């Protein structure tokens, strides 16, 4: 299945991309599974997505958690805690 | 209930006028305006750049408004949030709420701001003499949102 990943703000800069299409060899992974795939890339990915870092997840533009399931065609956004207002 | 995300500045008077005029039941209008400060964490800020997640922002703001409407007897609300590069004294955000009495309007207005600060996908980056930096989320903002639970 294919996922669209979106990176925002500081994470967009650290990963050097605002989005990417990720092909996953699994039918119904959780957000946690996807994060683990990204952490395995090492470098900025491992640093920014390590367990002691604070970041947020949205699946199809709704806030989600590590246990949220993702499916084919979903949009998974990863971003720092928000600072608007 | 409406929300707008825009680069342009907004006219507070015109926005409040529209909310106040929309319904003869309105007896109170509360508003909040967020403004860019020239100093943050001891450093001079020359510009502040706001980024957002376009696909999600309006939806998140509308959900926050719907939640306020569920909790208080308010008639109308408006959130206008700017994005792009701003400088000190520029307006960033406007929240306007109308109701029959002030108590509901004040509370809903404060709730909308507290939730916006912790749930709407906006990020600030500031330029200071020592370089550009992303603004960190504050635990005081989380605490402010927490008390409405």
* ipTM for the assembly: 0.94
| Contact (CB<8Å) B134/A77 | no
Smallest Cβ–Cβ distance between B34 and the set A62, A75, A85 belongs to: A85
Q: Which residue has the tokens 């992974």?
A: A29
| Contact (CB<8Å) A80/B93 | no
Q: Name the fold adopted by B2-146.
A: Aldehyde Oxidoreductase; domain 3 (3.90.1170)
- CATH classification code of A2-79: 3.10.20.30
Phi, psi dihedral angles at B114 (to 5 degrees): -65, -40
For residue range A1-53, what is the model confidence (pLDDT) as tens digits? 999 999 999 999 999 999 999 999 988 899 999 999 999 999 999 999 998 88
The predicted pLDDT at position A51 comes to: 87
For residue range B63-91, what is the model confidence (pLDDT) as tens digits? 999 999 999 999 999 999 999 999 999 99
The predicted pLDDT at position B102 comes to: 98
Smallest Cβ–Cβ distance between B116 and the set A10, A79, A85 belongs to: A85
CA–CA distance from B16 to each of B21, B25, B79 (Å)? Answer: 8, 15, 11
Joined together, the tokens standing for residue A18 give 């605002």
Domain ranges of chain B: 2-146
Smallest Cβ–Cβ distance between A85 and the set B55, B59, B117 belongs to: B117
Contact (CB, 8 A) for B84 and B50:
yes
pLDDT band at B22, cuts 50/70/90?
Answer: confident
The predicted pLDDT at position A27 comes to: 85
User: Which of A26-30, B18-22, B32-36 is predicted most confidently?
Assistant: B32-36
Chain B residues touching residue A9 (CB < 8 angstroms):
51, 123, 125, 134
Domain ranges of chain A: 2-79
| Contact (CB<8Å) A77/B53 | yes
Q: pLDDT at residue B41 above 90? A: no
Comparing CA positions, the residue from A1, A59, A52, A62 lying closest to residue A26 is A1
Q: Which residue has the tokens 């990915």?
A: A45
Average pLDDT, chain B: 96
Chain B residues touching residue A82 (CB < 8 angstroms):
117-123, 137
Q: pLDDT at residue A71 above 90? A: yes
d(CA B63, CA B75): 16
Q: pLDDT at residue B120 above 90? A: yes
Regarding predicted confidence, which is higher, B9 or B39? B9
d(CA A62, CA B59): 9
């Amino acid at each position: 299945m294919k996922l669209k990943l979106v990176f925002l703000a500081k994470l967009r800069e650290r990963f050097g991309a605002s989005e990417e299409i990720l092909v996953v060899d699994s039918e119904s992974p959780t957000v946690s599974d996807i994060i683990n795939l990204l952490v395995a890339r090492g470098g900025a990915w491992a640093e920014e997505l390590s367990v002691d870092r604070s970041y947020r997840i949205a699946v199809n533009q709704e806030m989600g958690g590590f246990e949220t399931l993702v499916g084919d065609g979903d949009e998974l956004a990863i971003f720092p805690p928000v600072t608007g207002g | 209930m409406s929300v707008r995300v825009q680069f342009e500045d907004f006219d507070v008077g015109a926005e409040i006028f529209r909310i106040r005029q929309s319904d003869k039941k309105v007896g109170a209008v509360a508003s909040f305006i967020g403004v860019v400060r020239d100093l943050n964490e001891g450093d001079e800020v020359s510009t502040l750049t706001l980024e957002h997640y376009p696909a999600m922002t309006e939806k998140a703001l509308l959900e926050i408004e719907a939640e306020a409407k569920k909790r208080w007897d308010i008639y109308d609300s408006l959130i206008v949030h700017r994005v792009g590069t701003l400088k000190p004294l520029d307006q960033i955000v406007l929240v306007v709420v109308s109701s029959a009495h002030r108590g509901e309007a004040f509370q809903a207005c404060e709730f909308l701001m507290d939730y916006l600060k912790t749930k709407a996908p906006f990020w600030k980056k500031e330029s200071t003499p020592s370089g550009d930096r992303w603004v960190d989320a504050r635990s005081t903002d989380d605490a402010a949102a927490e008390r409405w639970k």
